[in-house]
Each structure stands twice: as structure tokens, then as C-alpha cells.
Structure 1
């Protein structure tokens, strides 16, 4: 089957429908951002792209801080609501039954209901056109205790994260592999010693 060339657009998915918290504990705000991702390992860096006319934009620009909160299937209505309603008009935390808790590294609040939150400090702002990209260093992670095993390993697959693709929300499916599995050598089978008679 062949391919058809479309005009350039913002079609990429799935992406995380992240709830980004900003402002302060006294005046918290929350917005949904699908345009986010990891851009660097050392130091760990991320970004969010926000329209300048959004209520959250000056909050992030002036404080230089925000928190990216990953969402789970039970939060789908809240993620959608926070993407279409403005903090200018109402308290989205109260409207969605969500709770702001203090961050450890930033003054922006962390979303209590999120299984994994990335506390971020802005390093640069790229004014790209319709959106401005806040490039930020990840200063700390807030992880739900139930996702960490007794050896300190993270099991994010237990969280029930969701994805967003082309205007729709999806539950993430089964694991198909792990990083590097295609080149990992299989362990040799141990041969037992012959039994003495």
C-alpha cells in the first residue's frame, strides 16, 4: 500500500496528556499539555510548549517553574477538562476534585493524584510562533511509593498511564519489549555436572 502526502501539521502520537501545574500553593493553576518530552539526559531536561495567550503562560514565565504530572486512565476527564477550561475563569483543581501538594524543589505545586511528577525549572524560552517552548531542567521526581519495589526499582507499568493521539485519549497497552532487548545476548544455559554413580 502506498502513502499519501499531507500538508505539514502537528500529527505525532501517542504523546502524554500531562497535567502541568504552575503558580504557587496559595494560587495553584493546572493546564493540560500534550506537547512535552525529554530533550537531554545530563542534565535531565524537558520542555512544555504553551501558547502565550494561555492563563498559565505568564505564571510559568514569571516564576520560571512548573511541574509535569503524568496522568492515568482514571484522570481522563480531568485531563480533558483542564485542556479546554481556563484558570482565569475557575479553580480547575476544585472543579476536577484534584489536590495540590507542595513540591520539594520548586514553589509550583505537585499534583497529588499523579503517579509521577517532574519538578522543573526553566532554563530558556524559545519563542517559536503559535507556542513558546519552555526548556527546563528536571530538578526532582515525585514518585508514588507503590511503583517502587523493595530493591528501589521503578515499575511505571503499574501506574496505568494514558496516551493522547490525534484528538483522542488511550490506555497504554501491553509491553512489547524493553530498551536494548533486540541486541541483548541470551544467557547461556548452565550445564549440570554428570552425576556420580
Structure 2
């Protein structure tokens, strides 16, 4: 899959993300990965963009604030199911998720943040915009997703590369 074809299988990709994907960030010497299940892929400002939502309380948020890039690795099958669950429930502040889940990092081609070395689809993104959510949600039904008022910051990453690995 090349970066020009990133939307060809968007329905399939979004269905896989809903089951869990890895958002990986490197800032300085610190690297962390977390599970995401919400994202948007599309075109904005005439650019191919991958938008991720990260709660401000997350360790990954702290790293994203110190860098300008991230990667998303979407497993092609369920072999990473346990790692996806672990990385979605544990904080990188408290443990080394890579060691705990036996996940290997692989250098990305265009950004500093590594990809997860798994069979799947990988996106390399450069952050071009971020926006912190506030309490002015237009749909009151969404309030139930934020009982602690722990809102997300939305990071818009221009897709620099998109490829599949075996």
C-alpha cells in the first residue's frame, strides 16, 4: 500500500482500528505506545491526514507535546490481541510496554517515532495541527464519554508514508 492509496481500503482499515491499533511516539529518548480505537483518516487542507485523539492524562500526550510526529501500526490479525489489550490498560509511566508485551520497535522511514514490528498497516505522520477539546460538546450524549472531564487533544498528522508489512 503506498501513501497515495491510503484511502482505497478505508472501511477495512477503520474496522481494524476499532479493534485496536498502536499509536507510537518518540520524544528524545522516551518511546511509548498506546492503544487507540478512535481515529479519522481523510483529507483536510489538501493533505492526506490521520487524526488521533489522545486524552490529556495519558503518558503519550506528554510525549506528543514534545515532538512533531507519530506512527500508527494496525495489526493485520488477532495475534496482537493481548498486547493491544495491555497497552490500552497500562501506562507507560508505570511499565515498559514493549518489554511486557514482547513488542519490537522498527525504525520508521520518514519520522523519528518507530513503528511496531508486526504484520499490518503502518502510517507515519507529521503533526501539522492540534486542538484541545473543551466542554462545549455539541451533542450532549457525548458527555457520558467524559465523566471525569478528561477530554482529548486531537492531533492531525499529515501522512508521510503508508505501507503494509508481513
Compute the TM-score of the two structures, normalised by the length of structure 2: 0.74
Q: 2 CA distance for matches of 1:24 and 1:61?
A: 9
- Note the residue ranges of structure 2 that are not aligned, 5 or more in a row: 1-13, 135-150
Which residue does 2:125 correspond to in 1? 120
Secondary structure at 2:111's aligned position in 1? coil
Q: Determine the structure 2 residue equivalent to 1:51.
A: 55
1-structure distance, mates of 2:83, 2:96: 12
Residues 80, 49 of structure 1: alpha-carbon distance in 2 compared, 3 angstrom cutoff: same
| Aligned residue among 5, 23, 33 for 2:26 | 23
Q: Look up the match of 2:145.
A: none
Once residues 114 and 140 of structure 1 are traced to their aligned partners in structure 2, the CA distance between those partners, rounded to angstroms, is 16
Aligned partners of 2:74, 2:27: CA distance in 1, in Å?
19
Tell me whether 1:77 sits opposite 2:65 in the alignment: no
Matched with 1:36 is 39
Match of 2:155?
134
Is the CA contact (8 Å cut-off) linking 1:25 and 1:101 kept in structure 2? no
Aligned residues: 133
Provide, for residues 115-155 of structure 1, a one-character-per-residue CA deviation record: whole Å limited to 9, x for no partner. 111001111111113111001100012321x5xxxxxxxxx
4+ long deviations beyond 6 Å: none
In 2, are the aligned partners of 1:17 and 1:33 still within 8 Å (CA)? Answer: yes
Contact 1:106/1:121 (8 A) holds in 2: yes
**Which of 33, 56, 69 does residue 65 from structure 1 map onto?**
69
Post-superposition offset of 1:39? 2.7
Check the 8 A contact 2:50/2:159 in 1, yes or no: yes
Aligned-CA RMSD value: 1.9
More helix by share: 2
**Deviation by residue 1:10-65 (Cα, 9 ceiling, x = unmatched):** xxx95251111111594321000111121317421111000111000021121021
Contact 2:27 2:66 in 1 (8 A): no
- Tell me if structure 2 keeps the 8 A contact 1:18–1:32: yes
Pair 1:102-2:123 in alignment? no
Can you give the 5+ residue segments of structure 1 that lack an aligned partner in the other structure?
A: 1-12, 147-197
